């Protein structure tokens, strides 16, 4: 597989369960060895020691957890870690950014709650607020809307679009949420296709890819033939 995202763009990564979507993100974040080359802003990811600390990557895994009680606002402000002195306290400016990020995802009302007591969907919104403060060139998101209701799903896709259009970020977003993709500008990468390629998103493309994913043909595994 070979693809190049031309500048800031939204890329939806779709495909059947187990087709390798999460594996792709794990390779890009250096958690898995791989053949070939991945470049972000011209830099070979293998040669970058800490891609998150250098502002190249920000990653939202499918299941992120926090082991101890922590107010939501404190978790969100940690997204500013790159702009921050080691062991120094976050400034009023950092907290203002955290509050604004929470407002952007529609979660201001959660600011002073204990993160560990939130619902799965609420936790997902908080992670997105934290991520938006990381200011990375490439965002890797693994099913960011999976636990969200219809209202927040749409809202999160609008948020991702703003990261692309206003902040000039590139977003690689794994999703099974085909309904919300039809209206978005960007690209689609279907990893269940034998030769996945970047295709320009449109309502017609989403309909074609949905029909493919719903077909028995798309589930044919080479080893079963």
Ligand X SMILES: Nc1ncnc2c1ncn2[C@@H]1O[C@H](COP(=O)(O)OP(=O)(O)OP(=O)(O)O)[C@@H](O)[C@H]1O
Closer Cβ to ligand X, 115 or 139, answer by number: 139
What is the three-class DSSP state of 108?
A: helix
Question: Smallest gap, in angstroms, from Cβ of residue 19 to ligand X?
Answer: 4
CB of 170 to ligand X, least distance (A): 20
Residues 6+ apart with CB under 8 A from 105: 125, 126, 128, 129, 132, 155, 156, 159
Using CB under 6 A, which of the segments 11-19, 44-52, 165-173, 210-218 binds ligand X?
11-19
| Site track for ligand X across 13-42, x = CB under 6 A | --x-xxxxxxx-------------------
Q: By C-beta, is 28 or 184 nearer to ligand X?
A: 28
Say how far apart CA 106 and CA 33 lie, in whole Å. 38
The answer to whether 30 and 45 have CB atoms below 8 angstroms apart is yes
Q: Tell the smallest beta-carbon distance from residue 179 to ligand X (Å).
A: 16
Binding to ligand X in span 95-154, by CB under 6 A = none
In the complex with ligand X, which residue's Cβ is closer, 94 or 177? 177
Number of residues that bind ligand X (CB under 6 A): 8
Which one of 12-20, 51-59, 100-108, 193-201 is the stretch in contact with ligand X (CB under 6 A)?
A: 12-20
14 closest CA partner among 2, 24, 28: 24
The answer to whether 116 and 66 have CB atoms below 8 angstroms apart is: yes
Output the smallest distance, CB 196 to ligand X, in A. 12
Give whichever of 26 and 84 is closer to ligand X, judged by the CB atom: 26
> Minimum distance between the CB of residue 14 and ligand X, rounded to whole angstroms?
9
Q: How far is the CB of 62 from ligand X (least distance, A)?
A: 6
Q: Whose Cβ is closer to ligand X: residue 32's or residue 103's?
A: 32
Between the CA of residue 181 and those of 10, 18, 21, 122, 129, what are the distances in Å? Answer: 10, 21, 17, 22, 21
Alpha-carbon Rg for the chain in angstroms: 18
Instruction: Tell me how far apart the alpha carbons of residues 93 and 74 are, in angstroms, rounded to a whole number.
Output: 13
- By CB atoms closer than 10 A (0-12, 13-18, 19+), residue 145 is buried
Minimum CB distance to ligand X smaller for 19 or for 60: 19
Residues that bind ligand X (CB under 6 A): 15, 17-23
């Amino acid at each position: 597989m070979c693809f190049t995202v031309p500048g800031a763009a939204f890329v939806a990564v779709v495909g059947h369960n187990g087709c390798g979507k999460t594996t792709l993100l794990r390779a890009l974040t250096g958690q898995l060895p791989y053949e070939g080359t991945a470049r972000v802003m011209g830099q070979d990811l293998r040669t970058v020691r800490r891609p998150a600390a250098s502002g190249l990557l920000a990653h939202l895994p499918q299941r992120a957890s926090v082991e101890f009680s922590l107010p939501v606002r404190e978790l969100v402000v940690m997204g500013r870690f790159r702009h921050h002195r080691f062991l120094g306290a976050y400034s009023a400016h950092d907290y203002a950014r955290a509050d604004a990020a929470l407002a952007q995802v529609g979660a201001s009302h959660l600011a002073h709650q204990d993160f560990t007591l939130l619902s799965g969907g609420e936790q997902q919104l908080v992670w997105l607020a934290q991520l938006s403060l990381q200011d990375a060139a490439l965002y890797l998101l693994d099913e960011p809307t999976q636990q969200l209701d219809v209202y927040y799903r749409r809202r999160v896709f609008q948020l991702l679009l703003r990261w692309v259009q206003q902040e000039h970020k590139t977003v690689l977003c794994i999703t099974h949420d085909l309904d919300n993709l039809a209206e978005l500008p960007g690209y689609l990468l279907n990893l269940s296709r034998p030769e996945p390629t970047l295709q320009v998103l449109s309502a017609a493309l989403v309909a074609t890819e949905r029909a493919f994913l719903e077909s028995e043909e798309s589930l044919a595994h080479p080893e079963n033939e």
